[in-house]
Amino acid sequence: MTDDIKRMQGAVAAEQAYRDYRKNADYLERHGMYAPADERDACGVGFVAAIDGKARRDVVVAAIDALKAVWHRGAVDADGKTGDGAGIYLAIPQDFFLEQTHSSKKVKGPIAVGMVFLPRTDFAAQERCRTIVETEILRFGYSILGWRQVPVDTSVIGDKAIATRPEIEQIMVGNPRWEEDEGDPDDAFERDLFIIRRRIENQVLAENLKDFYICSLSCRSVIYKGLFLAEQLSVFYPDLLDDRFVSNFAVFHQRYSTNTWPSWKLAQPFRMLAHNGEINTLRGNLNWMRSHETRMFAPAFGDYNEDVKPIVQAGSSDSAALDAVVEALVQAGRSLPLTKTLLIPPAWASKIHMPELHRDLFNYCNCVMEPWDGPAGVVACDGRWVIGGMDRNGLRPLRYSRTEDELLIVGSETGMVPLVGHTIVEKGRVGPGEMIGIDLKHGVFFHDHELKDHLADEKPYSQWVKGIAHLEDQVAKRGFEPIAYEKGELKRRQNLFGITMEDLELILAPMVLDAKESLGSMGDDTPMAVLSRRYRGLHHFFRQQFSQVTNPPIDPLREYRVMSLKTRLGNLGNVYDQAPSQTKILQLKQPLVLNSDLVALKAYFGERATTIDCTYDVEGGWRALRDSLQRIRMEAEDAVREGRGQVILDDRGVSEGRAPVPMILATGAVHSHLVEEGLRSFSSIVVCSGECLDVHYVAVLVGVGATLVNAYLAEAAIADRHRRGLFPNYTLEECLERFKEAVAQGLLKVMSKMGISIISSYRGGYNFEAVGLSRSLCAEYFPGLITRISGIGLAGISNKVLSLHRRAFEADEAPLEIGGLYRFRKGGEKHALEGPTIHQLQHAVATDSYVAYQKYSSAIDAAEPVAIRDLMGFSETVEPAPLDEIESITEIRKRFVTPGMSLGALSPEAHETLTIAMNRIGAKADSGEGGESKERFTPRPNGDNANSSIKQVASGRFGVTAEY
């Protein structure tokens, strides 16, 4: 059998394997075990550039060498050849491509090159794609100089990469009117090519053509990338070995995908940037970009503004989405360094020392749009600027070296390029929030402070930010105006909203006394909210998400300087603009507001604010709840369209005939509706909630779209307790400020779990998983919220609300429920492990009595369901499997693994006991992060073995966890 036949058979087998793999991916997605929206990257990035801006061959060679040096930052498939993707982005070598046109006519100006991935096996679709590309180019008056099949060497890539390989071609485009364009003709040509590409992409999407992708379409740069390893790039693309391939910059990227299916088009660099990291705020950013699009108009795009929308295409990875926004802002007229500062700003708000001009620049950026928050090492180029920058936390490495012959090497590793014969005149690291760059047009290298000085001098930002109003100043003008209810009305409302004695004593009181959340032990043995027989607020159905191992959480105590709760109302204008009107906002220190703040806010906005009643008719049942949600949506839409953009959702209008709409539901309904209608950027959503009492409730409200939250009943409860002398050391105003501080610190903690630093990037991000809410309800009111297990809908929610309403209004002075959610209380919430049950287990173990254990087992089996597993049972109709087909208990136990619980989470004695037990039964124990002491490696005289078979180590806050 010849090598060619073997290779062909291998390719066929790989293609079938890829089909099976996609089939499996589709199955996992349908069954909720894989979400494309959760795809992330962690990679090696960098660039090499000539500071003088002149194209050189050694720039390309150095970039290829650097890419090979970061091979360890990429993943490798089992075939040893297929990688997660690698690529290089560099200036178009005009002489090289001019020769490829084989044109005898003189070509005016620079040649534009499109690097295009086409369907490889569907020839009809392939031809249709070429037709769309050519049609749009000719429609704009440009000439097609020819198509070129890019030379490739497929012998170096793996079978899986071959199975998914597209047809790779380049289209060369000329500009007949190059000399006639006003200003910089390259800018006009480049902008038109951007619009052309977006029109092509929208047309391809409309016709549902698969496997088509334009890597780049530019008169300045071209991208070579694919699904291979770093060292394979220059072999797969022989073009890169040609001495005529010269460039003044070269951006490179080696991909390591996390939670991602690798593909050719997701290899980086993208159209302008290469990114190492994970965007934690991706869901919120995408929602806000969708909202911004309504107001986004750039004079540079003229009649084609709608053609560049949507800015982010569906199915984009976090890096691709960030790149799409960067590209749109740059093509609309912003400089690349300013765009990076706008999207990935440094920390500036928390008493950080910096020049006032820089602070004013960042303050302006904060007025324009939400940061894309998360670990990020970014390198980017727009043909004029090439930059390297870091996120505010500095969680990805980025180092640089500058040589005497004006070569700058920036990347994830130091020493990526052997600089033999070069004299290094400077080297260093790009720190948190920092950025370095080269103005290729003028040949100037900028350090971080120089670049920020340059940006701050471009516009009078210091004058612009004087237009920002602060709510604290408005409150000071009006004075302190707390809210209060008389005793009977306060208790009735507390019963109505399900507030218990436990909530007041264990949750609210410590927030005032300690100015922080109360502490509790880990673990929860109460029923899930959907399984509880008692009323549980809607916030109990929302479980907070956590950042992944490759993307560590923030320490909100030691790293508070990088975090900010600053909230703005005003609201959002055209993000393409650079104008003082963008700073005409009202700014607050945090999203929780007291009654005094709310009164001042209403006075400030006057007729521009509208209050919407969030109650419904108790006689109408769940249908009345549904109709009320629709009414609230319509009233909010009408108000915004009439120019009353400050929407206040208020449930204080409850009465004997009106029940409260759960404010999380109302907020999600209004936010999602305004986003759908393109009106969210015209409005702020202020929520006045009687049920809101703790940090989690505030976090859920903000997460589903609230701008500000007023927990008026919690404020009234504090005022009542203060009146009764329960907070003797503080004035009422101090008590309320301590409550606000506790909520602020709690919000920072919640955000930090996701690695999110900025509240505006957390808002509307749905950083939760719904457990026990119906899929249809989530799709309607919380689109994008993860819900793997369906549950109750509007009918179930209404039944719970109306049961509270009946109790509150049927009896005068009804006492508050005791609670029992946080501590076991007789007559309170059910717990899985209650006193009698625990005592029965202890008795069974102490007496070694199987009869006693059976009593314990029967009690557990007869208990009400607490967890999902409690709803499962054994089928009595299925025939039992023969015993000789069942694995022995010895074999089954080998697959048991104790969770990786570190010392501290468990005492050393408990940790060792678990490990000894697992070793006795032939199972595995996990040491937890940090490993274990060497004394445990040796078996003890009695035969006990405390040595964990899984050793887990961690490099801490800035590292990753690995198992051995």
Catalytic residues: 43
Task: Take residue 614 and report the two structure tokens written for it.
Answer: 């969030």
Q: How would you class 296 by CB atoms within 10 Å of its CB: exposed for 0-12, middle for 13-18, buried for 19 or more?
A: buried
In the beta sheet, which residues pair with residue 687? 649, 709
Q: How would you class 589 by CB atoms within 10 Å of its CB: exposed for 0-12, middle for 13-18, buried for 19 or more?
A: middle
| Cα torsion angle, 785, 791, 797, 803, sign | negative
Q: How would you class 770 by CB atoms within 10 Å of its CB: exposed for 0-12, middle for 13-18, buried for 19 or more?
A: buried
Rounded distance between C-alpha atoms, residue 522 and residue 530, angstroms: 21
Half-sphere exposure of 20 (CA within 13 A, CB side): 7
Single out the residue of 233, 191, 445 nearest to residue 329, CA to CA: 191
Rounded distance between C-alpha atoms, residue 263 and residue 212, angstroms: 12
**Whether the bond into 269 is cis, omega within 30 of 0:** yes
Is residue 254 within 8 Å of 50, Cβ to Cβ?
Answer: no
Rounded distance between C-alpha atoms, residue 76 and residue 82, angstroms: 6
| Cα torsion angle, 484, 485, 486, 490, sign | negative
In the beta sheet, which residues pair with residue 252? 46, 88
What string of DSSP letters covers 78-131? TTSS-BS-EEEEEE--HHHHHHHTT--SPPPSPPEEEEEEE-SS-HHHHHHHHH
Rounded distance between C-alpha atoms, residue 344 and residue 30, angstroms: 34
**Inter-helix orientation angle 487-496/712-723, to 10°:** 140
Task: Take residue 10 and report the two structure tokens written for it.
Answer: 């291998």
Is residue 438 within 8 Å of 408, Cβ to Cβ?
Answer: yes
In the beta sheet, which residues pair with residue 46? 252, 411
SS3 letters for 161-216? HHHCCCEEEEEEEECCCHHHCCCCHHHHHHHHHHHHHHHHHHHHHHCCCCCCEEEE
Rounded distance between C-alpha atoms, residue 816 and residue 482, angstroms: 23
Percent composition of the chain: helix, strand, coil (DSSP 3-state, to 5)? 45, 15, 40
Query: Which H helix or E strand runs over 411?
Result: strand 407-411
DSSP 8-state assignment for residue 707: S
Q: Is 657 helix (H, G, I), strand (E, B) or coil?
A: coil
Write phi, then psi, for 571 (nearest 5 degrees). -125, -110
| Cα torsion angle, 876, 877, 883, 888, sign | negative
Alpha helices in 811-935 (DSSP H): 835-847, 850-862, 889-893, 908-920
What string of DSSP letters covers 420-479? TT--EEEEEE--TT-EEEEETTTTEEE-HHHHHHHHHTTS-HHHHGGG-EEHHHHHHHH-
Q: Is 11 helix (H, G, I), strand (E, B) or coil?
A: helix
Single out the residue of 551, 39, 37, 47 nearest to residue 272, CA to CA: 47
What string of DSSP letters covers 710-739? E-HHHHHHHHHHHHTTSSTTS-HHHHHHHH
**Whether the bond into 571 is cis, omega within 30 of 0:** yes
Task: Take residue 15 and report the two structure tokens written for it.
Answer: 């293609």
